[in-house]
Structure 1
Amino acid sequence: MSEIDQIIADSLDAARDAAVEAAGDFGVGDYLGSKVEAGARQATHLFDCPHPGYYGWHWAVTMTRASRARYATVNEVVLLPSDESLLAPVWVPWAERLMPGDVTPGTLLPTPDNDPRLEPGYGGGELAADSDPAEWAQTRAVVSELGLGRERVLSPIGREEAAERWLDSDAGPGSPAAKQAPGQCVTCGYFVRLGGSLGRLFGACANEYSPYDARVVSIDHGCGGHSDLVADERVARLPEPVFDTISIDHSLFD
């Protein structure tokens, strides 16, 4: 390993001044030594970075000296990590970072062409050009009534993923509300079953007083708003009061 150029070695103060100027509020800490770079008359001075958010990072100030020059100049100043540095996590594309509920009002979520949850739907468009206008109008009405005419529909994978997600939610059979309910949703008058294959397991709650109103619930879910509750059961039974026998406020009973 070649030795550091003596003029560059003596340029420690100039290197620190350059690091201080670049660091700003980050600050410059203790001197950590130097290392010789490839090429003649070029070396890097290293300084610790004391900023708590950059643990293990250091300022690297590369100094160089032209041939026959009597002083060294600053080549570059950079903040570099070490093996023990606190690093930012690996960048993940936005589409992979998306979480349930991230689509808020005004947000647009493009659907990828290869989304496994979807498959091509039947629009009947290939029949429109050769059909009589009146017949095509009837066909289009039937297609719309059946919920068809969409470019994409749920694939079997999409239905399975939705079913698993809904069953595992608080509107599924394993939630505390379902375990304490007097009856299952499938026997409730407020239960509106979904159409299609998902209707075998799910429906929507139409009880405005239930916390599950307007939500998809499983047929074996339940809550305290079951339609079959009789009047006596609708009254909440409160526990007997417990009194402090040392100090009773008798005015409460007047």
Structure 2
Amino acid sequence: MLADQAAVRFARAAAQEEAGAERVGAHVGVLAEDEVSATHLFEAEHAGYRGWNWAVTIAHAGPGTPLSISEVVLLPGQDALVAPQWVPWNERVRAGDLGVGDLLPPKEDDPRLVPGYVASDDPAVEEVALEVGLGRVRVLSREGVLDAAQRWQGGDFGPRSDMARSAPAHCGTCGFYTRLAGSLGAAFGVCANELTPADGHVVHVEYGCGAHSEVEVEGGPMVPVADVVYDDAELEVEPTGAEPGPAADAGAPVDETAR
């Protein structure tokens, strides 16, 4: 009753009344909602609404009662062209969006930052003060440190990257590895080898690449040389038997006195 041709015609008429006859296309299917209702889907022939369907939900109260319309709505199908999911304004900036001349202040309650301290005028503590953030208004909080460490460890220069897994040794033993200061220095540093993709990037101590400072390659000819070489530029002829005597020249005169 809810899925026969009469129900399809009934649902189509409802969709055409809502959208217009020219904007309701072919019947594409029916979905059972429950025992007394079902939703018929028709292609939407609207410009810019590729993959959308007119959904008409009909109901049947029981024997002897006519079909009724519950709702008529325009819904996106699986291949429909839809707008991306809405993102709040304060969450729309992503890594890499900052351009030259752009200003991107942190949030007032940014959990990655904590207040710093007043600068000291004692030269004896200058070196230590810089490491702990003395003199800066705000410094990284514990949450900010852990967030950065997790992001770097799981990035392209972390210990589980393809390059690291195929490397002969880790960055921790490389002469080009420059350790970071502070707590992050226990696991991270900066690569100073200009010939590697990691040059100038923060790398994990267990990252590695083929340009490790202690890599050694066995010396040898640049061009592979075969074990056996045949020189066909010169040919040597070796006799296989006794050499025949000189043959008499048929055109030479005969010495009669030698007979």
Q: % of aligned pairs identical?
A: 41
User: Is 2:211 aligned against 1:215?
Assistant: no
TM score, norm. by length of structure 1: 0.54
TM score, norm. by length of structure 2: 0.53
Unaligned runs of 5+ in 1: 1-27, 33-47, 59-80, 125-135, 240-254
Q: Give the structure 2 partner of residue 98 of structure 1.
A: 93
Please, what is the CA RMSD of the aligned residues? Answer: 3.6
Q: Give the structure 2 partner of residue 50 of structure 1.
A: 46
For the residue of structure 1 that corresponds to 2:91, the secondary structure is helix
Aligned length: 164
CA contact (8 A) 1:209 1:225 kept: yes
Q: Give the structure 2 partner of residue 168 of structure 1.
A: 154
- Cα 1:112/1:29, change in 2 over 3 Å: farther
* Structure 1 Cα separation of the partners of residues 161 and 223 of structure 2: 23
For the residue of structure 2 that corresponds to 1:232, the secondary structure is coil
CA contact (8 A) 2:111 2:144 kept: yes
User: Which residue identity does 1:111 align to in structure 2?
Assistant: P
User: Which residue identity does 2:47 align to in structure 1?
Assistant: H
For the residue of structure 2 that corresponds to 1:30, the secondary structure is helix
Residues 211-240 of structure 1: per-residue CA shift (max 9 Å, x gap): 10111000000001100012428x9x999x
Structure 1 residue aligned with 2:137, among 115, 127, 151?
151
Q: Give the structure 2 partner of residue 16 of structure 1.
A: none
Residue 197 of structure 1 and its aligned partner are, at CA, apart by 0.5
User: Which residue identity does 1:84 align to in structure 2?
Assistant: L
Structure 2 residue aligned with 1:226, among 202, 212, 231?
212
* Structure 2 Cα separation of the partners of residues 207 and 97 of structure 1: 35
CA contact (8 A) 2:23 2:46 kept: no
Structure 2 residue aligned with 1:200, among 180, 186, 190?
186
Q: Which has the larger radius of gyration?
A: 2
User: Is 2:75 aligned against 1:84?
Assistant: yes
- Cα 1:238/1:188, change in 2 over 3 Å: farther
Q: Give the structure 2 partner of residue 107 of structure 1.
A: 102
Point out the structure with the larger helix share. Answer: 1
Q: Give the structure 2 partner of residue 128 of structure 1.
A: none
* Structure 1 Cα separation of the partners of residues 195 and 23 of structure 2: 69
- Cα 1:215/1:116, change in 2 over 3 Å: same
- Cα 1:192/1:56, change in 2 over 3 Å: closer
User: Is 2:103 aligned against 1:120?
Assistant: no
Residue 56 of structure 1 and its aligned partner are, at CA, apart by 5.8
